[in-house]
């Protein structure tokens, strides 16, 4: 049996051993990862954290002063819009509190601690409220550090009507590859801008004041911006004419240019184009010209129908989403109808098409003759499916002779009652709606022979959609699947729904393979 002192000695020994083990195990665990791996981890953290870790050890100080991306936007997560810009911007933009200017001196500090060997920074991003001279100094400082990506959102300190001038030092930078600038700023004349930006591949300009140069016809020409692949222009106030012809451009995104009257896009490499909320709806001399042979994806939404459209056919067009915008009191004259027709003929090779409700309203109201979409495999229609829309739908089906998938998104305006499907009418051989669809069968022959999948969302058991669903089941020879998603949320109507379902299932279908799924 051990004596007490022997026991004590043993315990002391064990404690000592544990101490030694602890000491060993507290050797640096994370730091034997290589530098670039730690950088990789640090890039996932807010910059404040990373800067704090610079005090941990000499190596960590080194990691900080060689840190490639300086993203200060994590310091103030909300975007800035001052009151003067607020008036110009749509009423749905929220107002945020601007950041005070003294907070931005540390950016200069951070840049200054980088030594000569590790001067270069890869990216600099910040949001601030600054005077122009401060902004200019910061940008110049970043350019001196050969910055490759600049992402800046700024606003002037004082709430005056003054706007920034574009910081010209970026124009001649040879290292700058990405420039994103959001502010209320004026562009310098094209002659100055054109000769620079030799390395730029992405440009995003937001809140640009162009009243003094409403026509940007030679800024984005074939010879300027030689490496530009992505161009994004947002809220260009006063922009009336725009021509884009940059040779290397692949992606064009134009939004909220409400004063635009003329758009000319000519790009041999453009693959994706997005134009939303553009064109002056009150002007009757608007035009668009598009020569984009390699276009694969087009999003054209909330744009007023232009008076003239020249849209060269794009054989590679894969996907298009079209939503014309029409003023409530607007009338579409003959010229505009022709223009809409020309627009659609530019889309004639598309494989997947989505049409917004206003576009379908225009098609419902006016007789537009569209050439059939021979390659169309998927058609998505957003519509209120009112009585007047039914003919437009039949017309679109006629134009889609080899359609594979039809998606109908019914927009239910609960204020307006649509004609409910009356189960008493079941005994009558056919309603007016059914008769209409039956009359369309000859012209829909090809459509009915190819249609495989139908998906209807927002199904409210109203006459129009029940009739259509019935019609497609009754005559869709190739139909494989029909998915009906109810727009109802209350259980009160579940009995009604069950009745309608049993009615729909209770007649012979053209396709024996068809399956109907209710969700």
Partner 1 sequence: MASSSSNLISLKTSDGTVFKVERALAKTMKTVQAIIEEADANIYMIPIHNVFSHHMDMIIDYYKLSVAGKSKEFSVEKLDNDELKDFLLAVHYLNMEDLFEVLTQAVADRLEKKSVGYVRKYFGIENDFTPEEYAAIRKKNDWAFKGDDIEPEEDEEKQEE
**Minimum CB distance to partner 1 smaller for 103 or for 431:** 103
Report whether 362 contacts 392 (CB < 8 A): no
Beta carbon of residue 517, minimum distance to partner 1 (angstroms, whole number): 21
**Minimum CB distance to partner 1 smaller for 112 or for 133:** 112
Q: Where are the alpha helices (DSSP H) in 290-407?
A: 334-346, 357-365, 387-398
**Minimum CB distance to partner 1 smaller for 106 or for 282:** 106
Q: Where are the alpha helices (DSSP H) in 347-386?
A: 357-365
Beta carbon of residue 64, minimum distance to partner 1 (angstroms, whole number): 8
Beta carbon of residue 41, minimum distance to partner 1 (angstroms, whole number): 5
Tell me the helices (H) and strands (E) count for the chain, helix number first.
15, 22
Beta carbon of residue 108, minimum distance to partner 1 (angstroms, whole number): 11
**Minimum CB distance to partner 1 smaller for 58 or for 491:** 58
Report whether 128 contacts 99 (CB < 8 A): yes
DSSP letters, 414-470, are TTSPPPBPPGGGGGSS--HHHHHHHHHTGGGHHHHHH--EEEEEEE--BHHHHHHHH
Beta carbon of residue 105, minimum distance to partner 1 (angstroms, whole number): 8
The CA distance from 484 to 407, in Å, is: 10
**Minimum CB distance to partner 1 smaller for 96 or for 272:** 96
Beta carbon of residue 266, minimum distance to partner 1 (angstroms, whole number): 38
Beta carbon of residue 62, minimum distance to partner 1 (angstroms, whole number): 11
What count of other Cβ atoms lies within 10 Å of the Cβ of residue 397? 23
Query: Among residues 286, 359, 276, 350, which one has the least CA distance to residue 315?
Result: 350
**Minimum CB distance to partner 1 smaller for 56 or for 425:** 56
Beta carbon of residue 49, minimum distance to partner 1 (angstroms, whole number): 6
The CA distance from 324 to 452, in Å, is: 28
**Minimum CB distance to partner 1 smaller for 114 or for 294:** 114
Report whether 24 contacts 49 (CB < 8 A): no
**Minimum CB distance to partner 1 smaller for 37 or for 369:** 37
The CA distance from 441 to 423, in Å, is: 24
The CA distance from 47 to 63, in Å, is: 13
The CA distance from 39 to 30, in Å, is: 12
Query: Among residues 351, 343, 346, 273, which one has the least CA distance to residue 314?
Result: 346
Beta carbon of residue 68, minimum distance to partner 1 (angstroms, whole number): 15
Beta carbon of residue 310, minimum distance to partner 1 (angstroms, whole number): 45
The CA distance from 398 to 440, in Å, is: 9
- Secondary-structure breakdown of the chain: helix, strand, coil percentages, each rounded to the nearest 5: 35, 25, 40
Q: Which residues bind partner 1 (CB under 8 A)?
A: 25-34, 37, 40-42, 44-49, 51-58, 60-61, 64, 103, 105-106, 109-110, 113
**Minimum CB distance to partner 1 smaller for 52 or for 284:** 52
Beta carbon of residue 100, minimum distance to partner 1 (angstroms, whole number): 13
**Minimum CB distance to partner 1 smaller for 55 or for 334:** 55
**Minimum CB distance to partner 1 smaller for 105 or for 432:** 105
The structure tokens listed for 283 are 């002007």
CA distances from 260 to 119, 227, 241 (A): 43, 26, 6
The CA distance from 502 to 496, in Å, is: 10
**Minimum CB distance to partner 1 smaller for 32 or for 329:** 32
Beta carbon of residue 455, minimum distance to partner 1 (angstroms, whole number): 22
Using a 10 angstrom Cβ sphere, with 0-12 exposed, 13-18 middle and 19 or more buried, the burial of residue 353 is: buried
């Amino acid at each position: 049996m051990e004596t007490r002192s022997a026991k004590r000695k043993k315990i002391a020994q064990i404690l000592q051993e544990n101490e030694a083990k602890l000491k060993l195990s507290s050797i640096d665990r994370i730091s034997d990862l290589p530098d670039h791996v730690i950088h990789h981890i640090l890039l996932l953290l807010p910059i404040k954290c990373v800067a704090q870790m610079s005090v941990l050890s000499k190596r960590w100080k080194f990691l900080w002063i060689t840190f490639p991306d300086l993203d200060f936007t994590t310091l103030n997560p909300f975007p800035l819009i001052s009151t003067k810009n607020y008036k110009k911007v749509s009423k749905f933009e929220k107002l945020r509190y601007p950041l005070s200017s003294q907070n931005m001196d540390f950016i200069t500090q951070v840049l200054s601690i980088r030594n000569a060997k590790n001067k270069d920074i890869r990216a600099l991003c910040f949001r601030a409220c600054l005077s122009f001279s401060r902004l200019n100094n910061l940008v110049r400082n970043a350019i001196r550090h050969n910055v490759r990506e600049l992402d800046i959102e700024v606003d002037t300190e004082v709430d005056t009507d003054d706007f920034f001038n574009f910081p010209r030092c970026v124009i001649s930078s040879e290292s700058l590859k990405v420039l994103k600038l959001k502010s209320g700023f004026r562009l310098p004349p094209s002659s100055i801008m054109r000769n620079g930006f030799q390395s730029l591949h992405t440009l995003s300009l937001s809140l640009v004041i162009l009243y003094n140069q409403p026509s940007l016809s030679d800024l984005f020409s074939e010879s300027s911006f030689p490496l530009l692949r992505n161009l994004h222009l947002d809220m260009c106030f006063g922009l009336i004419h725009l021509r884009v012809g940059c040779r290397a451009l692949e992606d064009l995104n134009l939004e909220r240019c409400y004063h635009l009257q003329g758009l000319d896009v000519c790009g041999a490499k453009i693959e994706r184009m997005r134009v939303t909320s553009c064109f002056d709806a009150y002007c009757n001399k608007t035009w668009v010209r598009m020569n984009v042979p390699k276009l694969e994806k087009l999003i054209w939404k909330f744009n007023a129908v232009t008076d003239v459209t020249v849209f060269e056919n794009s054989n590679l067009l894969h996907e298009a989403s079209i939503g014309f915008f029409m003023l409530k009191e607007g009338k579409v004259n003959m010229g505009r109808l022709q223009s809409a027709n020309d627009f659609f003929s530019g889309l004639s090779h598309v494989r997947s098409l989505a049409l917004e409700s206003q576009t379908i309203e225009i098609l419902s109201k006016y007789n537009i003759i569209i050439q059939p979409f021979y390659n169309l495999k998927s058609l998505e229609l957003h519509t209120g499916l009112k009585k007047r829309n039914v003919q437009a739908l039949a017309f679109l089906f006629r134009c889609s002779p080899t359609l594979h998938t039809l998606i109908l998104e019914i927009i239910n305006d609960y204020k307006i009652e649509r004609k409910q499907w009356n189960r008493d009418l079941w005994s009558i051989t056919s309603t007016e709606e059914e008769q209409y669809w039956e009359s369309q069968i000859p012209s829909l022959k090809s459509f009915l022979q190819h249609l495989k999948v139908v998906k209807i969302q927002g199904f409210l058991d109203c006459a129009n959609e029940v009739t259509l669903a019935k019609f497609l089941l009754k005559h869709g020879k190739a139909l494989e699947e029909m998915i009906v998603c109810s727009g109802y949320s209350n259980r009160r109507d579940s009995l009604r729904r069950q009745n309608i379902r049993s009615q729909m299932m209770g007649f012979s279908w053209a396709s024996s393979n068809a399956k109907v799924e209710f969700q």
